[in-house]
Amino acid sequence: MKLIAFDKLLIAACCAMLALYPVVARATWHSSSDVHAVLEFASSLVAVTAGVMVLLHFLTTGRWFFLFISVGFVQVGAEEFVHALFSFDRLWPANLPTARLAISTTWLAGRSVFVLALILAFCCGRREVAPATRRGDALRFNFAGFLLSALLAYAIFGAQHLSSSLRLGQPLKQAWEAGIAGLFLLVFVLYYRRHARLRSYSPLMLSILACIAVQVMLHLYFSGAREFYDARWDTAHLLKLLGYFFPIFGVWGETIATHRLARQQYEALCKEMAERRRSEAELATYREHLEELVAERTAELEQTLSNLRSAQDQLLQAEKLSALGSMVAGVSHELNTPLGNAQMAVTTLIGRIADIHASYAGGGLKKTQVDHFFDEGRKLSELARRSIERSLELVTSFKQVAVDQTDEQRRAFDLATVVCATIDALRPSYQDQPWEFAVDVAPGIAMDSYPGPLEQIILSLVQNSIRHGFEGRDRGCIRIAAQVGADAGAAHVVLSLSDDGNGIAPEHVGRIFDPFFTTTLGRGGSGIGLNITHRIATTLLGGTICVHSPERRGATFTLRIPQRAPALL
């Protein structure tokens, strides 16, 4: 029920009770103590029932507010039970005047305690009792209220002297009734303002407001009563009985509202669970599709990676063949001189032998001719021998480098031997160029690694220095040095190759090992040479390589590799 609808209904009921008052006041109705006792017994039973039902609501919510409301109903029910018992004339006919005074006194006492309990409930507000102590607090407070009211009523009926000013129809009695009515009206206003502000539209709270409004009206009726059992007397008792029913209906309404809310929550939960199951099914379907998609993408990536590795291997092989081609051209050019000298010496020697043979056949051979032939033959033979040895050295050096360049087999070797052999193989290619090579590698540095890839790194770095470092220069020097060190117990070699050329621009230093990075695009630069060098150094040789170029005053490549290469995975 909305609060505005409740307002209209309550205002209409109060107006009806006020309009009924003149009619009741003019009525000549008179009942008896029997009717009064029945009404009081019924009110007692309904009040205790209302208190118990509100108490059950307290056990659910734990709010002190409902506990004091429950105590108020239970104590007034207990008081009215004793009140009804002692006001039944058939049980106590001997002392009627005293009984009449006790009836008024117990009535005022019980109603005063009831309105006091309602005020205490308002003061407690929305504070709650801990669940562990709710049952104990409920029993203690209600038992105390019941016992206190019963003892108070019993004491009043057992008293020998009561004030006659509290007798029905007396001004003090009427003023007390009006004061209690005012307190009930104050409680109604306080409750209404709080719950209207909080928009508390619970059936139980509305029923308590209706009950309090009825209490105000019944005390107005009681204040006008002039004698026992008249129309205003009985009407007030009927209103009281009716008012006690409201909290019972309120608890029923609260139960129905709670059940409706629980059903709505259950339906919402079922809907949420159905939605969740649907979402889980969609998620499972999406997960399966995602797994398939991931598998497809993984296969594509693996294929792309395989293609990339194949392309890298092809590029590496192309770099090797390119380096070999350069060395072949240089070696073939270098071989021309010793082989030409050997050919000339042998041809000349053959001519001299033919001349000596002709002189000998004609009988004109002289001793001076023989001596000259031997002397010249010895010189020509020595020239041919030296030329052939030089050719053999070049072929041997080229053969070793060529074998290492095309073979990545691991073997033991001397670092100085490999470095010198590589530089010697390069010298013929640049013998007509103004480039100098300075090698400072001490012999005896034993390596257990891959000489071929190491030679390829040296070739690539030398060619990079000549192609880029010495571009536009008429002279230059490349220095190669090696040092042995130890790091965490593992021996390593630091091989540095430096030039005094143009250096590297600062913005290019961080990208020089990137694949396909080149400053000579369109002029023969592929941009993969140094990237392959970096890959060989960091993977196969298990080391590192870095570059340093101070203010474009040459460049230094530093290769740091272990003397014993790591095992391949």
Q: Is the dihedral of CA 56, 57, 59, 64 positive or negative?
A: negative
Burial of 412 (0-12, 13-18, 19+ CB in 10 A): exposed
CB 209 within 8 A of CB 188: yes
Q: Report the C-alpha gap between 195 and 204 in whole angstroms.
A: 12
Please report the sign of the dihedral spanned by the C-alpha atoms of residue 559, residue 562, residue 563, residue 569.
negative
**Percent of the chain surpassing pLDDT 70:** 79
- What's the rounded mean pLDDT across residues 212-230? 80
CA distance 86 to 100: 10
* Residues 471-498, mean pLDDT to the nearest whole number: 84
Q: Percentage of the chain with pLDDT > 90?
A: 9
Could you tell me if 73 and 244 are in contact, meaning their C-beta atoms sit under 8 angstroms apart?
yes
pLDDT of 404 above 50: no
User: What are 552's strand-pairing partners?
Assistant: none
pLDDT at 79: 81
Residue 109, SS3 per DSSP: helix
Cα separation, 33 vs 83, whole angstroms: 12
Torsion from C-alpha of 207, 213, 217, 218, nearest 10 degrees: 50
Contact criterion met (CB below 8 Å) for 387 and 342: yes
Tell which residue, 206, 185, 186, has the closest CA to residue 196: 206
* Torsion (CA) 202, 205, 207, 212 in degrees, nearest 10: -160
Q: List where CATH 3.30.565.10 sits in the chain.
A: 408-569
pLDDT in tens, 250-303: 888 888 888 888 888 899 999 999 999 988 888 888 888 888 888 888 888 888
Q: Residue 426 has which token pair? A: 């390069």
Architecture in CATH of 408-569? 2-Layer Sandwich (3.30)
The answer to whether the beta carbons of residues 496 and 548 sit under 8 Å apart is no
pLDDT(2) > 60: no
Q: Which residues contact 472 (CB under 8 A, 6 or more apart)?
A: 502
Which residue reads 């010496």 in tokens?
A: 345
pLDDT for position 559: 92
405, pLDDT greater than 80: no
Separation of alpha carbons 396 and 421, rounded Å: 10
Token pair for 413:
């070797």
Q: Which pLDDT value is given to residue 403?
A: 44
